[in-house]
Amino acid sequence: MNVAPTAIPDVLVIEPKVFGDSRGFFLESWNQRAFSAAGIRAVFVQDNHSRSERNVLRGLHYQLQQAQGKLVRVIAGEIYDVAVDIRRSSPTFGRWVGVALSAGNRRMMWVPPGFAHGFLVVSGAAEVLYKATDYYAPEHERTIAWNDLELAIAWPLAGPPVLSAKDAAGTRLRDAEVYP
């Protein structure tokens, strides 16, 4: 597999080795030994699967306690996946990185603990799978506004996003509870 840092070095894009022939393809989406050798020493405790329609924007989510690292991949369609560094002590605090993930490019993104995460569906629909390093804890979940002007995330919107009530009420980063 090929592992490449993004503009925020802790966020990684993983391109698995794909073995394909006339029957289809095979790839390893998780191999603890290989990922550990690449610097991802995560222990995953939960797998999540979501399906969303075009222009659905989910995020930017994080858990203040029980912080989750996430290994994100798409098995149908395409998303624009975003990670925002919300570790106040980090030199990249308040910066974001966005990556196109699709069933076609088979890339994955590693979003370590300490980041807010969200995605926008850019295809007709998309199915997203992600592994998490800690359990979902709704009492600790927080949401940063997807359209925070200070973050200025360049979402590739094709119209107004479809948001949950929770995501529509997100907090600006400057007012959010963040990691030390």
To the query of whether residue 130 is one of the catalytic residues in this protein, the response is yes
To the query of whether residue 136 is one of the catalytic residues in this protein, the response is no
Q: In DSSP terms, which residues pair with 48 in a beta bridge?
A: 130
Calpha distance 84→117 (Å, rounded): 6
According to DSSP H, which parts of the chain are helical?
32-37, 165-168
Calpha distance 170→27 (Å, rounded): 37
* Residues 6 or more apart whose Cβ sits within 8 Å of residue 148: 170, 172, 173
Q: Of 49, 61, 135, 136, which is the active-site residue?
A: 61
Using the 8-state DSSP alphabet, how is residue 172 labeled? Answer: P
Q: Of 62, 80, 117, 130, which is the active-site residue?
A: 130
62 φ/ψ angles, rounded to the nearest 5 degrees: -165, 165
Residues designated as active site: 61, 130
